[in-house]
Amino acid sequence: MQIDQDIESWLRLGLTEGVGGGALRRLLIAFGDPARVLAASRPALEGVVKKPVATSIFLRKVDEERLARTIKWLEDPLNSLITLADSDYPKLLLNISDPPPILYFKGQRQFLAQPAMAMVGSRNATPQGLANADAFAEAASNAGFCIISGLAQGIDTAAHQGGLRGASSSMAIVGTGLDLVYPSRNHELAHKLANEGGLISEFPLGTPAISRNFPRRNRIISGMCHACLVVEATLYSGSLITARLALEQGREVMAIPGSIHSPLSKGCHALIKQGAKLVENIQDILDELHYQPQPVPRFESVADEGGGTGVLTGEGDDTGLLMYFSYDSTDIDTLCARSGLTVETVSAMLLGLELEGRIGSLPGGKYQRIR
């Protein structure tokens, strides 16, 4: 990204001690642009923001080391700032009560123009939940929605992976600076998102993983999107915070139902009881949004990895031990009773099915079919 005086002014103001998003927005309304804010007198600044903030701006209390590091970071063609003054600032995000004045962006900015869908859920998802998130994300991406999530383990990761395979890709909204990857195990996924989708943060470079920042980033996840789909969630899941924010922002909220016995379905069922759309397939989403799938040119560096959405259509020939699985979790004793086979035989068959990716193991010695 070319570093001009305008970009440096945005950075200087955004990195000034005490200047938060609310203060920055008020200053922009009063003075028009960051350069005029930085040139304003102390009395003029005190007429808009609190005295300590005005003093910080007037005395240029900027973290010069962080400023220099950010300017260096912006030399990478993948890295850029998105400000309220930019034409490709996400339009829906402008309509929330507290849009971030500055977004740090790493990736392919063309995907900002795509309609977007948030997909969120548990970090400790079931194998079926992960498969659902992956398949729904790929189908929605191919229908024209860029998939937005939070780069967390579990449902977020599966949603990003599915979205990246689709034509409209995926973007992650993170709660750290973009020079860090959290969780670290998603480093490879973050690299793929940077090259084939996008990573977005309102937090300056060097911002570590602080718990209070993640609820804040949730308002951006929901705010950028037309709808928010919750895949799996307990009653106390952070995903329900995103769903609540989506409702407050006037977005559609949808949820995938699950087993009545699963704690990871309780949050989704609670949302459905409160009026969220029950979703069983991609067409349910398109119908709710009155959206016609749009042909989207595939991003040229995204390899066609195949895959499919069998989990959405329910197609497949279940034979062998799978015919004795219900869609709830099942233990070996139950499978032995249903099939008449020995424990040794069932154990061997379970291992084969797990290696094929057709079932997944759960805590407590239980198993669940995936497709």
One-character DSSP codes across 202-244: SSPTT----TTHHHHHHHHHHHT-SEEEE-S--TT-THHHHHH
Is residue 183 within 8 Å of 157, Cβ to Cβ?
no
Q: Judge contact between 244 and 210, C-beta under 8 A.
A: no
Rounded to two decimals, the pTM is: 0.81
Q: Where in the chain do CATH 1.10.10.10 domains reside?
A: 316-369
Answer whether 339's CB lies under 8 Å from 346's CB.
yes
Percentage with pLDDT > 70 across the chain: 91
Residue that has been written with the tokens 């990716």 in this structure: 357
25: pLDDT strictly greater than 70: yes
pLDDT in tens, 107-133: 999 999 999 999 999 999 999 999 999
> At residue 339, does pLDDT exceed 90?
no
Pairing between strand 227-230 and 252-255? Answer: parallel
Report the CATH fold assignment for 1-75.
DNA polymerase; domain 1 (1.10.150)
**Sheet strands side by side (includes 277-278):** 79-83, 102-107, 198-201, 170-173, 146-149, 116-120, 227-230, 252-255, 277-278
Kindly tell me if the per-residue pLDDT of 208 is higher than 80. Answer: yes
The string of pLDDT tens digits covering residues 152-171 is 999 999 999 999 999 999 99
Q: Nearest to residue 140, comparing CAs of 109, 162, 122?
A: 162
3 state DSSP class of 106? strand
Give pLDDT, residue 335.
Answer: 87
Higher confidence at residue 368 or residue 137? Answer: 137
CATH number of 109-311: 3.40.50.450
Q: Tell me the C-alpha to C-alpha distance, in Å, between residue 60 and each of 14, 74, 104, 143.
A: 11, 22, 22, 48
In the chain, CATH 3.40.50.450 covers 109-311
Distances in whole angstroms, Cα of residue 270 to Cα of each of 204, 237, 266, 267? 36, 12, 6, 5
- The percent of residues in the chain predicted with pLDDT above 90, rounded, is 76
Q: CATH 1.10.150 occupies which residues in the chain?
A: 1-75
Residue range 316-369, CATH number: 1.10.10.10
Residue 319 is predicted with a pLDDT of: 53
In sequence order, the 6+-apart residues with CB closer than 8 A to the CB of 129 are: 121, 122, 154, 155, 158, 231, 232, 258, 264
Q: Residue 177's pLDDT is what?
A: 97
Rounded distance between C-alpha atoms, residue 293 and residue 285, angstroms: 11
Average pLDDT value for the chain: 90
Mean pLDDT of the region 176-182: 97
pLDDT at residue 315, rounded to an integer: 33
